A and B are shown apart, each in its own frame.
Chain A
Amino acid sequence: MEQKNLLLKIKDLTINYNTYDGIVKAVEGLNLSMSNGQTLGLVGETGAGKTTTVKGIMRLLPDPPAKIVRGEIYFDGENLLKKSKKEMRSIRGKQISMIFQDPMTSLNPVMTVGDQIAETIRLHNDISKKQSFEEACTMLEQVGIKGERAGDYPHQLSGGMKQRVVIAMALACNPKLLIADEPTTALDVTIQAQVLEMMKKLIAQYNTSVIMITHDLGIVAETCDYIAIMYAGEIVEYGTKQHIFLNAKHPYTKGLFACIPDITAEDNKLTPIEGLMPDPTNLPKGCKFYPRCPMAGKECENENPANKEIENGHFVKCHFV
């Protein structure tokens, strides 16, 4: 991958949750890098470790039980895992910000939305309350909400508007990296499209890099340049949108695509991936996908496959490519 203007580089990141039932290996040996202006889609089913990974980047994991066992996260050339709490606070919101899944609960119910955006601005900029409030109003206009609604409380806004407010908050300080954790899951489809469209516009305008967490391949197709498919704490396939959509190699990725309904096909049964995610306290020894894999062979059971680059920038973690 290109080394110039590298924004984020994750090396061998391993995150465990130490619980009473044993050690949950949420993320294991994860490598990832992205450069400025890229949009990366992080795709995987529930429990694959997507949110854990990004919270690890933000250093927002609750410790205990979560523990970053090893690995390095370089952001703009600096290792985030070596930063003090105070340094991290100045990075969060200013350099890296995050959009949460549910807009209903990610806004403070007793504060007006304008105040909440203004507060984020004031945390990182030394400006007066009045100024920051005016900036908050401008931000609201940017996401398509009238400025005079700044005095409203979250319960007076609809779900889609709340998510717009959350996006305005996240972009208020013009961060270099925006992490969107399933930003449209809680919205209905028409609003999803609007919100995504608006996000795309703002991302281009601010030249922000984005990590988009989702399990909706449609959203990925619409917004992302690069895609990483996660399974059981590992990235099993990584490549550009074209690589993944046109030339998917990993059986898990293929399985995901088989789950998408095809309206042109006569047969209206879907082809699900058989089985469930493995118990994270007791992961398979070899390839994590082995128990569910239709192609599984002998070596899969005991040997974890290496990451192979099958074409320029397209990595697959499987014995059979």
Chain B
Amino acid sequence: MSNVTLQESSELVPTYKKKSQKAEVWRRFCRNKKAVVGLIMLCVLIFAAIFAQYIAPYDPIEQNLKNRLQKPSVEHIFGTDELGRDILSRVIYGSRISVSVGLIAVGIACLLGGFLGAIAGYYGGSLDNVIMRFMDIAMAIPSILLNIAIVSALGSGLQNMMIAIGISTMPRYCRIMRSSIMSVRDQEFVEASKAAGASDFFIITQHIIPNSMAPMIVQISMSVGTAILSCASLSFIGLGIEPPTPEWGAMLSTGRDFIRNSPHITTFPGAAIMFAIYAMNLIGDGLRDALDPKLKD
């Protein structure tokens, strides 16, 4: 409000203009240059994923054994892999799967884990105990093992893989949400809201969750990368994406055998994964700052 001059404010008096909270957050987000760069990077990825068939210079699964293991050149900017497929095209098509797995698996984990964590943290008592003991059990199993178990129970495929990765990362979200909710729950404004007649649902969604989002957002931005890697490792053991379909993680793992003589096969998909993770981290940091009104101006 500091930039509102006296004259303007006196004009505002009869009809108070309500500043939308979303617009406020967006404005603060745009001020952060790094966050904007991250957002542009994510947009590039999403653009590549949607329009892959128009951008990619070659068919990503067309083999050309005469041209195998080519170094980057004008025809094949990123070179070719061990079956003569164009790596640039494969990286572009791979963004479809990697980006969607990353975002959707994390989405599942954070919605499910966040919801359970919110309930456990807010109500406490035996409900908290039951939920958290289940989470402890899930956390005790190595996540790759849990992934394998779930995928083999549900059957392989993109969708089931997303569900598996989502479920196996959920306990972490649950814990984070629970602890931050517990720190907010006993603050006086929650009691004040209760005294004003608000329902539990209203208090959780309006007061508690917005005040406990910061660690969740950081966790989300960090774990998109992990999800992409889990997806790669599942593909590697044959439980994720079927071989000819391009996927960054799978490209990495098949390229391992040729890393001494043809490092470009692993370099480019690796760079693509790094690009995606870096974009998410920048956005996550920017979003966390934008959501905290105390850092405003």
Q: How far is the CA of A105 from the CA of B188 in the complex (A)?
A: 5
Are A133 and B188 within 8 A (Cβ)?
Answer: no
- Whose C-beta in chain A lies nearest to the C-beta of B198? A123
Are B293 and A105 within 8 A (Cβ)?
Answer: no
Q: Kindly identify which residue among A110, A152, A166, A170 contacts B292, using a CB–CB cutoff of 8 Å.
A: A110
Are B197 and A123 within 8 A (Cβ)?
Answer: yes
Q: Kindly identify which residue among A97, A151, A156 contacts B196, using a CB–CB cutoff of 8 Å.
A: A97
Are A148 and B194 within 8 A (Cβ)?
Answer: no
Q: How far is the CA of A124 from the CA of B294 in the complex (A)?
A: 30
Contacts of B296 in A (CB 8 A): 153
Q: Within 8 Å of chain B (Cβ to Cβ): is A309?
A: no
Are A137 and B16 within 8 A (Cβ)?
Answer: yes
With A108-B189, A109-B211, A110-B291 already in contact, the answer to whether A94 and B197 are too (CB < 8 A) is yes
Interface residues of B in 1-41 (CB under 8 A from A): 1, 4, 9, 12-13, 15-19, 21
CB distance from B148 to the nearest CB of A (A): 41
Contacts of A155 in B (CB 8 A): 293-294
Q: Within 8 Å of chain B (Cβ to Cβ): is A159?
A: no
Are A91 and B197 within 8 A (Cβ)?
Answer: yes
Are B196 and A110 within 8 A (Cβ)?
Answer: no
Q: Among the listed stretches A15-23, A31-39, A111-119, which one makes contact with chain B, having 4 or more residues with CB under 8 Å of it?
A: A111-119
Q: Is the interface of B mostly helix, strand, loop or mixed?
A: helix
Are B16 and A150 within 8 A (Cβ)?
Answer: yes
**Residues of B in contact with A, size category:** 20 to 34
Q: How far is the CA of A66 from the CA of B202 in the complex (A)?
A: 24
Are B21 and A112 within 8 A (Cβ)?
Answer: yes
Q: Within 8 Å of chain B (Cβ to Cβ): is A216?
A: no
- Whose C-beta in chain A lies nearest to the C-beta of B210? A110
Interface residues of B in 175-197 (CB under 8 A from A): 187-189, 191-197
Are B189 and A60 within 8 A (Cβ)?
Answer: no
With A153-B294, A156-B1 already in contact, the answer to whether A60 and B191 are too (CB < 8 A) is yes
Q: Within 8 Å of chain B (Cβ to Cβ): is A285?
A: no
Q: Within 8 Å of chain A (Cβ to Cβ): is B206?
A: yes
With A124-B197, A134-B16 already in contact, the answer to whether A108 and B4 are too (CB < 8 A) is no
- Whose C-beta in chain B lies nearest to the C-beta of A151? B19
Contacts of B261 in A (CB 8 A): none
Contacts of B288 in A (CB 8 A): none
Q: Within 8 Å of chain B (Cβ to Cβ): is A318?
A: no
Are B195 and A60 within 8 A (Cβ)?
Answer: yes
Q: Within 8 Å of chain B (Cβ to Cβ): is A106?
A: yes
Contacts of B68 in A (CB 8 A): none
Are A92 and B16 within 8 A (Cβ)?
Answer: no
Q: Within 8 Å of chain B (Cβ to Cβ): is A231?
A: no
Q: Within 8 Å of chain B (Cβ to Cβ): is A130?
A: yes
Q: Within 8 Å of chain A (Cβ to Cβ): is B207?
A: yes
CB distance from B38 to the nearest CB of A (A): 22
Q: How far is the CA of A106 from the CA of B195 in the complex (A)?
A: 11
Q: Within 8 Å of chain A (Cβ to Cβ): is B73?
A: no
Q: Mark A125-143, 1 if CB is under 8 A from B, else 0.
A: 0000010011001000000
- Whose C-beta in chain B lies nearest to the C-beta of A115? B21
Contacts of A149 in B (CB 8 A): 1
Q: How far is the CA of A110 from the CA of B214 in the complex (A)?
A: 12
Contacts of B199 in A (CB 8 A): 89
Contacts of B193 in A (CB 8 A): 108
- Whose C-beta in chain B lies nearest to the C-beta of A89? B197
Are B16 and A148 within 8 A (Cβ)?
Answer: yes
Q: Within 8 Å of chain B (Cβ to Cβ): is A102?
A: yes
Q: How far is the CA of A137 from the CA of B296 in the complex (A)?
A: 22
Are A148 and B4 within 8 A (Cβ)?
Answer: yes
- Whose C-beta in chain A lies nearest to the C-beta of B20? A151
Q: How far is the CA of A166 from the CA of B9 in the complex (A)?
A: 23
- Whose C-beta in chain B lies nearest to the C-beta of A166? B192
Q: How far is the CA of A130 from the CA of B199 in the complex (A)?
A: 22
Query: Which of A94, A147, A152 has the most CB atoms of chain B within a 10 A radius of its CB?
Result: A147
Q: Mark B197-230, 1 if CB is under 8 A from A, else 0.
A: 1110010001100110000000000000000000
Q: List 13 A-B contacts (CB under 8 A).
A: A92-B197, A93-B198, A98-B195, A100-B188, A107-B192, A108-B207, A110-B292, A111-B207, A112-B19, A124-B197, A152-B1, A153-B296, A169-B196
Binding site for A on B (CB under 8 A): 1, 4, 9, 12-13, 15-19, 21, 187-189, 191-199, 202, 206-207, 210-211, 291-294, 296
User: When A and B form their complex, which 5 residue pairs have the shortest distance between CB atoms, in order from nearest?
Assistant: A93-B197, A93-B196, A92-B197, A105-B188, A98-B195
